[in-house]
Amino acid sequence: MLESVIYQDILQKGEKRGKQIGELRGEQKEAFMFLHRLLNRRFGEIDSSMIERLRVLPKEELETLGESLFDLSELTDIEAWLNQLLPNTDDNKTKTT
């Protein structure tokens, strides 16, 4: 079975897909780490709840926020940006009760 052409083809496709996923995760992680450093430098230590919200964003959104840092002057601006993109369910629960 290990020598089967079909098995080898499936194995190669799986390895290729795994490599692509790993590269995407690496790119997202690097974008997050870079943005985190930029935010800390601009605003000081960032609240852990905001960091966790940022951590789940895709690379493209992290890059967009990084570019927007020139237009944002306070952490509340970043919070508003995040709320538009990814509503924080904990905040919404507090506001409705």
pLDDT in tens, 36-72: 999 999 999 999 999 999 999 999 999 999 999 888 8
Q: Which residues contact 37 (CB under 8 A, 6 or more apart)?
A: none
**Do residues 82 and 52 make contact, with C-beta atoms less than 8 angstroms apart?**
no
Which residue blocks in 44-74 are alpha helix, DSSP H? Answer: 48-55, 59-68
pTM here is 0.72
